[in-house]
Each structure stands twice: as C-alpha cells, then as structure tokens.
Amino acid sequence: MPKLGILALAAAGLAAPVAVAAEEVVNLYSSRHYDVDEQMYAEFEEQTGIRVVRIEGDADELMARMQAEGRNSPADVFVTVDTSRLARAKSLGLLQSVDSAVLAEKIPANLRDVDNQWFGISQRSRIIFYDKADVANPPQTYLDLADPAYKGMVCARSSTNSYNQTLLAAVIENHGAEAALEWAKGVVANFAREPQGGDTDQLRGLVSGECEIAVSNTYYFARALRENVDGVTSDIDRIGWVWPSQDGEGAHMNLSGVGVAAYAPHRDNAVKFLEYLTSESAQVFFSTGNDEFPVVPGTPLAASVEKLGPFKADTVNLSAVAENLPEAQRIFNEAGWK
C-alpha cells in the first residue's frame, strides 16, 4: 500500500505527524566534585533551557575515556582542576579552539590557553602556612622554603600531585630550571616527614605538631574558616599564613578550568555553558560555595576568602607554565621529592 502524504492524511481525516524538537543538552565530563557546581548547573538550565548531563570521575580516567571514544565521544565540555590537567587534555588532542568575545573579554589572558582550547573559571592560590607558636620568621617567598633555617620543619604533598607540579613549573618559568632544581633539593632537605596526604593533611600537620610550615591551596584553609574541618578548625587560630613573593612575582595561582571537547556533538551549547561560567552569579558561586577566587576581575568574594586579606597574584601566563610540566617532573625526580 503506498504511503499517504500529509495532504492525503488530512483528506482522510487523519492527523498529520507533528515534528518534535530534540531536547537541548550539554554533556559534561567533569572531575570537579563540589556541591556548588549543582547550583550552577541548575541556574544554567533555568536560564537557557539546556539540560546539563554529567559524567563524573577522576580527570585521568575521563581523559582516557575520551581518547577511547574518539570521534564518537558524547563529551561536549571537559571540566577539571589544575593547569597541568588542562594542558594534558590539550596535548592529547581532546579539546578544540573556541573563539568567544565573551570569554576573551572576561577572562584575563594569562588565565586561558594561548590557542583558546582551555579557560580558567576559578582560581586557588598555593601559599605558605605556619605554626604561629613555633615560627617567628616564616618564609616570605617560595624560594625561602629551601632555606636551611627551616630544616625538618616543612610538610608537603607528593611530587605526583598536580598542584605541586604546576607550582614547580611556575618556579621554572619565573626563576629558571637550575634555580628550580636547587629549590626542590632544598625543600626536600627541609621535610619534616615524607610527602603524604592531601592539602588538608598538611594543615593538620601544623595542628598536630608534625611540622611547623606547610604548603596548601587557599581554599582548603578558607573552608576551615567557614565550616568545621576535622583536625583544623578547632585550632585554626594557631595557623598563620604568608602570601609569598609579594616583592617579586607574587603568589602562585592555579585553576579550575574548562574546554570544549574536540568532537563535541553540541558545540554551540558547550560554548554557551563556558560563557555562563563567566557570569557574575556563577563566579560568585565559586567563591561563596567553594572558597575559591573568581577569574573575572571585580567579582565579590565570600567572607571566608576575604579573611585571607589582599595580595599580589603572579600574573605569569599559565600556558607558558604548562609547557614546563615535563621539566618539573624531571626535577622532582632528580631532587628526590617522592
């Protein structure tokens, strides 16, 4: 029996088929795991009508998945923490360039990839904390952490930690590879214990007396100011902090960041999502919900973040820093930083 056209269906008294628009979605592959992200996703959906679909996991696992999926990957946006992982995603060909006037206007050039393949959406500073009861003259620069005066006093994370890798890559960019190697050796000589644990564990080391000086990202400490963090908040008044290198390059900043996936099936929605993350409401979410620093200048800060006080940030281009990551790992190995 031949198929009836729409006119024939109408003449026969039958309803013509109705075209149904496909649901608008954006697929995120995200290694961020913070409650505040849920608020942002809900606001984005309300503002745009685009549903956010997430696959969450470890950054390396997500990158491996994107590689395996290749051109068939449903990923539209890759979300991760630290410049090192953003740079790795780019080097693996998992991201694509985005030409967006909104992103170019709102995100400072040093906080985005030179080829516009990744963009910082929030910042953390990696600074020096110390036990005020035991340290009268804390280190004032990153290089000071290698001073023999602090022998047996320093707690730090492993050299496999991405935050430490990016910090060392910045030291290379600012001071050169030779100075960076001497610095890493000096810090190793000053360790109070073998590298272990996360950033919060370094702060706990100050409270427990295992060490007198520690390196941590600011948002771990600010979180302990805002809410109870076991092993930190109850004795937080004994912890002081130094914004390093204020007479030099400034305090090192690292990022949470995003990029549009190389084979994004919903590219336009992905770009809209990236642009939304630079809106004032989203930038405020990063600070009030996770104690981070916004990337868009002029965004209000959470009270917990403001308590850390004003500081000069290092404005080194993080794309240049990312190029030093292989050298940073080599230096860690040579220095014996486990």
Say how many C-beta atoms besides its own lie within 10 A of residue 149's C-beta.
Answer: 9
13, pLDDT greater than 90: no
Distance separating alpha carbons of residues 329 and 194, to the nearest angstrom: 18
What is the pLDDT at residue 335? Answer: 97
- pLDDT attached to residue 23: 78
Whether the predicted model's global pTM rises above the 0.85 cut: yes
Instruction: For residue 309, give the H/E element and its range.
Output: none
**The Cα angle at residue 59 between residues 172 and 34, in degrees rounded to 5:** 100
Measured distance CA(185)–CA(153) in Å, rounded: 15
Q: What is the pLDDT, as a whole number, of residue 37?
A: 87
Confidence band, pLDDT 50/70/90 cuts, at residue 33: confident
- pLDDT value for 19: 38
Section 207-213 average pLDDT: 96
Mean pLDDT of the chain: 92
For the stretch 185-224, what's the b/e string if a residue is b when 16 or more beta carbons lie within 10 angstroms of its beta carbon?
bbbbebbbeebebebbbbbbbbbeeebbbbbbbbbbbbbb
**Do residues 335 and 185 make contact, with C-beta atoms less than 8 angstroms apart?**
yes
Tokens at 132, concatenated: 């005020």
pLDDT at 146 over 70: yes
Q: Which CATH superfamily is domain 125-251+322-335 in?
A: Periplasmic binding protein-like II (3.40.190.10)
Kindly tell me if the per-residue pLDDT of 3 is higher than 50.
no
> What does the pLDDT read at residue 15?
43
Question: Residue 35 — very low, low, confident or very high, per pLDDT cuts 50/70/90?
Answer: confident
Q: Give 326's contacts (C-beta < 8 A, 6+ positions apart).
A: none
Q: How confident is the model at residue 22 (pLDDT cuts 50, 70, 90)?
A: low
Domains 25-123+255-300 and 125-251+322-335 are alike in CATH topology: yes
User: What confidence score (pLDDT) does residue 9 get?
Assistant: 31
Give the domain ranges of the chain.
25-123+255-300, 125-251+322-335
**In CATH, which of 3.40.50.1980, 2.40.50.140, 3.30.1120.130, 3.40.190.10 is domain 25-123+255-300?**
3.40.190.10
CA 104 to chain centroid, in Å, comes to 19
Question: How much is the pLDDT for 159?
Answer: 96
Question: Do 41 and 258 touch, CB atoms closer than 8 A?
Answer: no
CA distance 14 to 6: 9
pLDDT above 90 for 259? yes
| pLDDT reported for residue 222 | 95
Band (pLDDT 50/70/90 cuts) for residue 164 is very high
**CA quadruple 266, 267, 268, 271: dihedral positive or negative?**
positive
* pLDDT over 90, % of the chain: 90
pLDDT of residue 12: 38
- Taken as a whole, the chain contains a residue count of 338
What is the rounded average pLDDT of the residues 290-309? Answer: 95
Per-residue pLDDT at 14 exceeds 50:
no
CB proximity list for 151: less than 8 A, separation 6 or greater: 189, 190
pLDDT mean over 138-166 = 97
Mean pLDDT along residues 216-230:
95
Check whether 183 has a pLDDT greater than 90: yes
Question: 3-state class of 121 per DSSP?
Answer: strand
CA-closest candidate to residue 319, choices 98, 92, 118? 118
Beta-bridge partners for 191: 154
pLDDT mean over 223-251: 96
Q: Is 288 helix (H, G, I), strand (E, B) or coil?
A: helix
Handedness of CA 34, 39, 43, 49 (dihedral sign): positive
